[in-house]
Amino acid sequence: MNTTRTDLKEAPETSMPVDPGPFDCMPELLAAARVAPVVRIPYLGEHAWVVCDPELVRTALAHPRMAKDITLVPDFMRRPGLMVGSQPPPEYARAMIMSDGADHARIRRVHQPVLSPRNTEKWGERVGVKVGGFLTELEQSRSAGSAGVDVVTDYTHRVPLAFISEMLGLPLEAERRLRSITDVMLYSSDYPARREAVGALFGAVEGWVKDPAPLREGVITGFLAAADGPDAVTEGEVVVWTVGMIITGYETTGSLISASLYEALRRPPEERPQSEEDIRGWIEEALRVHPPFPHPTWRFPTEDIDLGGYLIPKGAPVQVSIAAANRGPDEGADSFEAARAGHGHLSFGLGMHYCIGASLVRLEAQIAVREFLRRFPKARLTGEDAVVWESEWMIRRLSTLPAVLN
């Protein structure tokens, strides 16, 4: 709807923690979301708009004039060290989450066979193998007299990193390198270091694409083989798409597994999920309360937009608050209720940009949580005060989750 600025309210200004650090951003995000249905926050010397009201979030996610194409990113956001600012020009390649229309449809079409139900079942078997191996290592460490473990370092982030590396066909030595790169790239407050990490990730992937000899058979070699036909894939696209799969396939899944086990281990064994149905509901509730990306991806209005009586100007950078949209108006950060089973959450998005890998993320988390709780039914946290969150307004995870297994 086109209208004039005088017809609409200006979104009030508030603040959110835009720099990463060893803290939990969720209470501040929810407090900011209560200021108004749409707010503005200072960002990189300018402003970003944030849609907070649950119904308006749904409207924004499906709004035909809320575009995502990389060409719409304003100049002030094209800053090295930020993922959106580090995207290559569209002539090189477009990422799925930064594309629209025919470009977006084509990219999803090319990815669809990789994430088909048959392939997801096959990938699930491989996840099960890796989970079993990591749990055996934990069991052996317990037998050797280790008093406790850090569930994040020793388990929850190892599972998706090992799996996505195998799925992509990366060399075996790539796993440790990827962990160190992505940790800096996503969570360091040192922006020059983040810039170097982004360059290192793109450089590593570009090296594998240009010389695939060290690669195992996997998604990268499959993409490279798709160089002909109506959906021919370029080397640049393989690089950009692989970087996207590493970030979302590893970081999102590891964060979800960690949060799910955190909610289990802080409760007595009888209150933890028991059946397969319980596990599925537990994972969905963790997605609702602990979305790995509280503000997921950028949108840019192609014209002035009226959203709930608030003006969002043409070209303004817009985020949607999944953290707020997943909760009722009176819910706080600590609001996990197993019986809710995540009903109505938007952590995987909505509409044409709904996460294409959602089924695989869910399956990985279900296997990892189920098998951990079966292997260590009496595991418990060493103490709530020892749990450490790491976050900023757009991304959030547990960085330390100490537990006693016996």
At residue 173, the pLDDT reads 83
Other beta carbons less than 10 A from residue 287's beta carbon:
25
To which residue do tokens 């569209």 refer? 90
Structure tokens at 66: 């809320």
∠57-58-60 over CA atoms, to 5°? Answer: 65
The ranges of the chain with pLDDT < 50 are 1-3
| Amino acid (one-letter) located at 245 | M
Half-sphere exposure of 396 (CA within 13 A, CB side): 28
CATH superfamily of 25-405: Cytochrome P450 (1.10.630.10)
Tokens of 256: 């979800």
Output the pLDDT for position 337. 97
Backbone angles phi, psi at 56, to 5 degrees: -70, -30
Per-residue pLDDT tens digits for 88-140: 889 999 999 999 999 999 999 999 988 888 888 889 999 999 999 999 999 88
Tell me the pLDDT of the chain averaged across its residues: 92
380 by DSSP, 3-state: which?
A: strand
What pLDDT is recorded for position 3? 45
β-pairing verdict for 149-150 and 395-400:
unpaired
What pLDDT digit, counting tens, does each position of 298-338 carry?
999 999 999 999 999 999 999 999 999 999 988 999 999 99
Q: What is the DSSP string of 290-312?
A: S-S-SS---BEESS-EEETTEEE
In angstroms, the CA 165 to CA 185 distance is 18
Instruction: Return the residue matching tokens 């992937």.
Output: 205
Write down the pLDDT at residue 144: 65
**Structure token digits, residue 233:** 């894939």
405 and 376 in contact (C-beta within 8 Å)? yes
Alpha-carbon distance 263 to 267, whole Å?
7
pLDDT at position 146: 67
> Quick count: other Cβ atoms within 10 Å of Cβ 377?
11
Q: What is the distance of C-alpha 386 from the center of its chain?
A: 24
Beta bridge partners of 305: 312
**Confidence at residue 292, expressed as pLDDT on a 0 to 100 scale:** 95
